[in-house]
């Protein structure tokens, strides 16, 4: 049985308690030009911003199938900006999208790959499945 078939056949026990003991986001130190940063697993907000950026760049046919993706490289910076924090004396400071876009592209590519890999639940299969569930004629919007 394929993973997709297993997912469809999975029965959720609504009486079982939901427990997440460790809710800390994964993180890894990053040094850019002598400045210390922390790259964290994407929060719900960072993932939402990234997915909204992806979906707004998609074109759909009348059956809701993705027919064209444009400007996908722009979305990499969105995820990096949501996951990268500058280490400052009294904690961490969120890096802005404008600051991320000033970095050389090869650095953004590496940080994007790492942020995506460490963010649980963020994968292309999920994005494709979400796009398929949009009703016909729906226009994707950012919130």
3-state secondary structure of 129: helix
- And the tokens for 74? 């722009």
Q: Tens digits of per-residue pLDDT, 89-122?
A: 999 999 999 999 999 999 999 999 999 999 988 8
Spatial separation of the C-alpha atoms in residues 82 and 95, rounded to whole Å: 8
Asked if residue 28 lies in contact with residue 38, where contact means CB atoms within 8 angstroms, the answer is yes
The pLDDT value recorded for residue 129 is 54
Instruction: Name the residue among 76, 126, 128, 117 with its Cα closest to residue 100.
Output: 76
pTM of the model: 0.71
């Amino acid at each position: 049985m394929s993973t997709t078939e297993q997912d469809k056949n999975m029965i959720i026990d609504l009486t079982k308690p939901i427990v997440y003991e460790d809710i800390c986001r994964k993180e890894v130190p990053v040094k850019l030009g002598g400045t210390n940063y922390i790259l964290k697993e994407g929060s719900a907000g960072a993932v939402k911003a990234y997915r909204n950026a992806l979906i707004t760049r998609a074109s759909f046919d009348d059956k809701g199938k993705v027919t064209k993706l444009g400007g996908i490289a722009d979305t990499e910076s969105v995820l990096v900006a949501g996951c990268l924090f500058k280490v400052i004396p009294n904690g961490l400071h969120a890096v802005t999208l404008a600051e991320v876009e000033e970095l050389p592209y090869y650095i953004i590519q590496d940080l994007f790959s790492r942020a995506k890999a460490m963010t649980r639940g963020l994968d292309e299969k999920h994005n494709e499945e979400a796009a398929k569930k949009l009703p016909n004629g729906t226009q994707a919007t950012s919130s």
